């Protein structure tokens, strides 16, 4: 077992490997009343808005907790209690979104497509034409359970044309894939600290159209998961409504500085795309086959078919790769056995090459000669 003094590289879609500078930012304690801390919160909100060019139209409302807390808060705040939400589902995060909306008492319909097929734009248009009771549509931009890229711009156009409102779970795409609020019509877009901005986990945030949020008072059925109240309180006091994740906020601020220094979204996209390319090419050379066709694969996380070889078992494979310094991610598909490898975090093509080498050595150790599926 190696790596006595080094943390393993996280090839997972959050938490992910962060830079030393980001981790160092967490070495100080901050008071939640302190104006210096609240100034950091304000700057973080402004910087996040700038990533999607939304300063003129939207506000950034942070929310304590993991990404799901922010999604739940956004749906609960934006969809009126008598609203009707259509959720486009082609993976586990879409399913989760539909479930949380239903649990909050909203009327929910689901438009499902296969896990390897992007959300069907024409079917959405038809559904909206046929069912005038649908008020809102929710889409997961990059469905992290497979890594598939959904057609955000086309869905957004159709939803806007039909006069409905769009909520986007952009958790695993924000910061890496291009999103421009000046040309993309959406009411809310949600992401979190611990994904492509490369901060630590613990804080979500939603970009909400300002004139829409102003009319959302009283929608939420939850005290804590209420973006309108959170926003209103923050505007009035500059403070968080309840205890803020102080260390996460200052580390996210440091991560955003590095994001800008790297060259922003375009540079991050380019690095992740290289990571993805090196990973897929290396794994294919070993005989592995990606679950998605390359045309629908986002450069965020790659799902691979598990080897058909009877000597393969995920647990042993995972443990052996981990002992070489790399943390893989289990598959999340119901029908086929897979595992996933993330391309995001403070890592580059060298780390991906080393990860492929660790996988190669592991195959040899386990006596697996054919890494391909059946």
Ligand X SMILES: *Cc1c(COP(=O)(O)O)cnc(C)c1O
Interacting residues with ligand X (CB under 6 A): 13-14, 66-68, 71, 93, 140, 144, 169, 171-172, 192
Closer residue to ligand X (CB): 71 or 250: 71
Closer residue to ligand X (CB): 71 or 124: 71
Using alpha carbons, select from 12, 42, 147, 44 the residue that is nearest to residue 93.
147
Closer residue to ligand X (CB): 13 or 331: 13
Q: Where are the alpha helices (DSSP H) in 175-324?
A: 210-213, 227-237, 246-262, 264-286, 314-323
Closer residue to ligand X (CB): 72 or 226: 72
- Cα-to-chain-centroid distance, residue 164: 24
Closer residue to ligand X (CB): 140 or 156: 140
CB of 132 to ligand X, least distance (A): 29
Distances (CA, A) of 365 to 101, 106, 305, 358: 46, 52, 19, 11
Question: Residues of 254-274 as b/e, b for ≥16 C-beta within 10 angstroms?
Answer: bbbebbeeeeebeebbebbee
Closer residue to ligand X (CB): 194 or 307: 194
- How far apart, in whole angstroms, are the C-alpha atoms of residue 304 and residue 276? 12
CB of 362 to ligand X, least distance (A): 26
CB of 76 to ligand X, least distance (A): 15
CB of 310 to ligand X, least distance (A): 32
CB of 201 to ligand X, least distance (A): 7
CB of 54 to ligand X, least distance (A): 19
- For ligand X, which residue has the nearest CB? 67
Q: Which residues are registered as beta bridge partners of 126? A: none
The residues near 91 (Cβ < 8 Å, ≥ 6 apart) are 115, 140, 143, 144, 145, 146, 148, 332
């Amino acid at each position: 077992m190696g790596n006595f003094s080094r943390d393993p590289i996280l090839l997972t879609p959050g938490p992910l490997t962060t830079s030393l500078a980001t981790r160092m930012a967490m070495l100080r304690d901050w008071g939640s009343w302190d104006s210096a801390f609240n100034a950091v919160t304000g700057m973080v909100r402004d910087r996040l808005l700038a990533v999607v060019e939304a300063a003129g139209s939207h506000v950034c409302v942070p929310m304590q907790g993991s990404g799901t807390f922010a999604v739940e808060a956004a749906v609960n705040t934006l969809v009126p209690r008598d609203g009707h939400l259509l959720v486009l589902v082609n993976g586990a995060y879409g399913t989760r979104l539909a479930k949380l909306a239903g649990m909050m008492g909203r009327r929910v319909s689901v438009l499902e497509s296969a896990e390897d097929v992007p959300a069907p734009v024409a079917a959405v248009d038809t559904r909206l034409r046929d069912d005038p009771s649908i008020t809102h549509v929710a889409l997961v931009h990059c469905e992290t359970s497979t890594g598939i890229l959904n057609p955000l711009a086309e869905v957004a156009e159709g939803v806007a044309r039909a006069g409905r409102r769009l909520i986007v779970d952009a958790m695993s795409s924000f910061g890496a894939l291009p999103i421009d609020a000046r040309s993309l019509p959406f009411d809310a877009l949600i992401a979190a600290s611990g994904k492509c901005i490369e901060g630590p986990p613990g804080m979500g945030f939603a970009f909400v159209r300002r004139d829409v949020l102003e009319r959302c008072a009283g929608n939420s059925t939850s005290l804590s998961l209420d973006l309108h109240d959170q926003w209103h309180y923050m505007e009035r006091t500059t403070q968080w409504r309840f205890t803020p994740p102080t260390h996460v906020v200052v580390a996210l601020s440091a991560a955003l500085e590095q994001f800008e220094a790297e060259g922003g979204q375009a540079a991050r996209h380019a690095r992740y795309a290289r990571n993805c390319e090196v990973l897929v090419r290396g794994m294919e050379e070993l005989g592995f086959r990606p679950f998605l066709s390359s045309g629908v694969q986002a450069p965020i996380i790659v799902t691979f078919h598990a080897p058909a070889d009877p000597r393969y078992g995920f647990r042993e494979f995972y443990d052996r790769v981990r002992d070489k310094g790399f943390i893989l991610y289990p598959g999340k598909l119901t029908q086929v056995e897979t595992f996933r490898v993330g391309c995001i975090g403070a890592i580059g093509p060298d780390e991906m090459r080393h990860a492929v080498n660790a996988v190669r050595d592991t195959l040899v150790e386990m006596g697996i000669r054919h890494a391909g599926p059946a």
